[in-house]
Amino acid sequence: MTINKPNSKAMLKRAHENMPLGVADSYRYWGEENTVFLSSMKGCTITDCDGQTFVDFRIAYGPVILGYRDQRIDNAVIDAITNVGAISGFSTGLDSDVVELVKSMCPNIEKMRFANSGTEAVIGAVRTARGYTKRNKIVVVEGGFHGLHDEVMWKSDVDNWDADSEQSPDIISFGGGIPANTRANQVSIPLNDFAALDAVFAQYGDDIAAILIEPIMGNCGSIASTQEYMQKLRDICDANNSLLILDEVKTGFRVAKGGAQELYGIYADLTTYAKAIGNGYPVAAFGGKAKVMDTISFASDGVTHGGTYTANMIALSAAKATLTVLKETDALATINRVGKDIQALLSRVFNKFNIEHCFAGPDSMFGVHLGSTVPQNYRDWKRTDSELYTAFAMNLIENGVMLEPDSREPWFICEAHQTIDFAWLEQVAEKSMADALKA
């Protein structure tokens, strides 16, 4: 971004005195010139502290399923705070209200527990799987993201991998402070690779508690499991008495009312939710089969789960209101229609410049890949033209369209995006690509 941002620079200078990198979350630091400080949000737009307004397709990495400051949700939260309270350390009827709403849309859920973030939900699900199976190892998929706790903060170093090499990418940590021994019980395999899946079960099967996978990878351009691979996952877990954990932190209540499992018709033993469940309010959950969830108990070998802020009234009132809207209105149909229209718009722009391209994932969180074929796994992503995409994305941001400038992040659509000027968006996209190619 080259537009002068005096207030943003002053904000970052001040923030450097108070926080590492000058931000509360490391992923919000975009460098000294480009780090964004906001003053307001409404619908599908955000306005920075220098007064520039953006149409936002980042929407906080996906939680805002309806739109910023949606009155249907905010009024429910205000009502809960005014008439009930925010937190008590005890239970309320809201707990079961929300669980029953989830169960009405998600046949994979028989019992559920709440959490405060996707990270916490994954921790709870993995611990429950281990408690139920009495095993240790978790199989994960390259390119998947399961939160910021040590055990899942190991990744395939595709960025520095030679795509023409016959060697697999190195496995590295996300950074410092992650003990090497936290990798001992995690095994990583490529997505949609049947042979790799068979091999890992042949080697470790007796100690595999679960497969943990995003069926549609929300941090890898929405690259998705094939239908056949999802069936293979279900079958191999059943045959090995391992559990299938589907991480639907990003896909849950976004890609369909019943999440990705509704699209595939294949159901997990345990599922994690967060993001869209509360339209941006901090609420998460994990749940699944009753016999598995009932491992959470006060028995001597039972699984422990809890948290001071878990199932607070702010979070649950937001979840109840959001899930009710998603269940009872055509919000998701609108979101999918808008996503499809935006992909068609982008395709026209790319075709005008003879740029090979394809889209991955569902219309509500589609990935854009500059190349001739849809990537089937993280290694395939390496072969796309991510540098051109980043240049295009940075130009979009400069011209008032906010998105993550990394093609591993999808375009997230919310209900409020139906109000945007599509002709304007196409003109901006065309200019942004023209400038990227010139550069």
pLDDT tens-place string over residues 266-302: 999 999 999 999 999 999 999 999 999 999 999 999 9
302, 328, 354 — which closes off a domain?
A: 328
Residues 209-253 pLDDT 10s:
999 999 999 999 999 999 999 999 999 999 999 999 999 999 999
- The reply to whether 9 falls in a domain is no
Same domain, 368 and 392: yes
- The reply to whether 161 falls in a domain is yes
Same domain, 274 and 168: yes
Q: What is the DSSP string of 370-419?
A: -SSS--SSHHHHTTS-HHHHHHHHHHHHHTTEE--SSTTSPEE--GGGGG
Domain containing residue 359: 37-68+330-438
CATH number, domain containing residue 395: 3.90.1150.10
Same domain, 253 and 306: yes
Extended strands (E) in 219-327: 243-247, 270-273, 284-288
What is the Cα–Cα distance from 133 to 10, expressed in whole angstroms? 53
Q: Which two tokens stand for residue 337?
A: 């229609």
H or E, element range at 45 = strand 45-48
Residues 173-214 pLDDT 10s:
999 999 999 999 999 999 999 999 999 999 999 999 999 999
Find the farthest-apart pair of alpha carbons in the chain and give their distance in angstroms, rounded.
66
- The reply to whether 16 falls in a domain is no
Same domain, 307 and 201: yes
The 3-state secondary structure of 65-83 reads CCCECCHHHHHHHHHHHHH
- The reply to whether 2 falls in a domain is no
How many Å separate Cα 377 from the centre of its chain? 17
What was the pLDDT predicted at 102? 98
- The reply to whether 321 falls in a domain is yes
Query: How many structural domains are present in the chain?
Result: 2
Same domain, 296 and 423: no
Same domain, 132 and 212: yes
Q: Mention every residue, 6+ apart, whose C-beta is less than 8 A from residue 153.
A: 173, 174, 175, 178, 182
- The reply to whether 288 falls in a domain is yes
What is the Cα–Cα distance from 362 to 260, expressed in whole angstroms? 9
CATH number, domain containing residue 169: 3.40.640.10
Q: What is the DSSP string of 179-244?
A: -GGGGTTEEEE-TT-HHHHHHHHHHHGGGEEEEEE-SB-TTTTT-B--HHHHHHHHHHHHHHT-EE
Residue 2: pLDDT band by 50, 70, 90 thresholds?
low
Residues 335-354 pLDDT 10s:
999 999 999 999 999 999 99
Same domain, 46 and 186: no
Residues 87-96 pLDDT 10s:
999 999 999 9
Residue 4: pLDDT band by 50, 70, 90 thresholds?
confident
- The reply to whether 272 falls in a domain is yes
Same domain, 41 and 75: no
312, 328, 344 — which closes off a domain?
A: 328
Residues 360-418 pLDDT 10s:
999 999 999 999 999 999 999 999 999 999 999 999 999 999 999 999 999 999 999 99
Query: Mean pLDDT over residues 45-74, rounded?
Result: 97
The torsion angles phi and psi of 209, rounded to 5 degrees, stand at -75, -40
Same domain, 320 and 335: no
Same domain, 335 and 305: no
What is the Cα–Cα distance from 13 to 30, expressed in whole angstroms? 14
What was the pLDDT predicted at 132? 98
- The reply to whether 8 falls in a domain is no
328, 351, 384 — which closes off a domain?
A: 328
What was the pLDDT predicted at 335? 98
What was the pLDDT predicted at 33? 92
Q: Is the pLDDT of residue 116 over 70?
A: yes
Query: Mean pLDDT over residues 135-146, rounded?
Result: 98
Same domain, 98 and 210: yes
Same domain, 251 and 289: yes
Residues 141-173 pLDDT 10s:
999 999 999 999 999 999 999 999 889 999 999
